[in-house]
């Protein structure tokens, strides 16, 4: 398939970004180098989204979190379930899609959300807010039944907590599985400022 790159790179790729194209590469970097990598990724997000747009803020907000997750866990064996999945750009850069990153949200380019057919590191595609906790709980239940040992990590923003299905999952986690990793990425902001009692 022809891949368009209608916003080609004008500068050479920065040093640490060039070194990392797979989660295993992260494991070789020191904490200081990981901090440098975070800066490089931030720059790539800003430059890469300058033309075609995209979810800049949510991805700037998860640079360190995405690096940390990929440093600690092992996708595709472990599962990352991102709520909405508008914040997976960094995850894409770290999982083999760095060189196609600037095609994101263009015809034949990378998808703007997690997409199972795009990468084995994307275990769940979404787009809608609020489904990740329930999906991750289902994955935990399936894992437990087959006595698997992979980790399931759900990353959900405060916007997920405006959806009833998230509460259904939260209500059921304790009686369904003994091992569920949830990360609440609470920046007190959804598409716009949060409203309602939960946010308060």
Ligand X SMILES: Cc1ncc(C[n+]2csc(CCOP(=O)(O)OP(=O)(O)O)c2C)c(N)n1
Which residues contribute to the site for ligand X (CB under 6 A)?
A: 58, 61, 83-84, 86-87, 127-130, 157-160, 185, 187, 189-191
Least spacing, CB of residue 91 vs ligand X, in Å:
13
- Residue nearer to ligand X on the CB measure, 46 or 142: 46
In three-state secondary structure terms, 164 is helix
- Residue nearer to ligand X on the CB measure, 20 or 84: 84
Element (H, E) at 130: none
The secondary structure of residue 94, as a DSSP letter, is: I
How far CA 184 is from CA of 66, 72, 98, 109, 187, in Å, comes to 13, 17, 26, 30, 9
Q: Cβ-closest residue to ligand X?
A: 157
Q: What is the number of other CB atoms lying within 10 angstroms of the CB of residue 163? A: 19
- Residue nearer to ligand X on the CB measure, 16 or 126: 126
Least spacing, CB of residue 194 vs ligand X, in Å:
8
- How distant is the alpha carbon of residue 71 from its chain centre? 13
Least spacing, CB of residue 184 vs ligand X, in Å:
9
């Amino acid at each position: 398939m022809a891949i368009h790159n209608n916003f080609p790179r004008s500068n050479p790729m920065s040093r640490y970004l060039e070194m990392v194209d797979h989660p295993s590469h992260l494991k070789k970097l020191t904490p200081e180098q990981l901090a440098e990598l975070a800066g490089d990724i931030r720059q790539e997000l800003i430059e890469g989204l300058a033309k075609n747009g995209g979810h800049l803020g949510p991805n700037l907000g998860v640079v360190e979190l995405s690096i940390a997750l990929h440093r600690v866990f092992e996708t595709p064996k472990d599962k990352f379930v991102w709520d909405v999945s508008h914040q997976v750009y960094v995850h894409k850069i770290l999982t083999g899609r760095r060189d196609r990153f600037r095609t994101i949200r263009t015809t034949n380019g990378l998808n703007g959300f997690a997409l199972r057919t795009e990468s084995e590191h994307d275990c769940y595609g979404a787009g809608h807010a609020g489904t990740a906790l329930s999906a991750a709980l289902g994955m935990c239940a399936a894992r437990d039944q087959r006595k698997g040992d992979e980790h399931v990590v759900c990353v959900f923003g405060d916007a997920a907590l405006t959806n009833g299905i998230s509460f259904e999952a939260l209500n059921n986690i304790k009686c369904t599985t003994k091992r569920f990793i949830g990360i609440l990425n609470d920046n007190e902001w959804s598409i716009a400022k949060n409203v309602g009692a939960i946010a308060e």
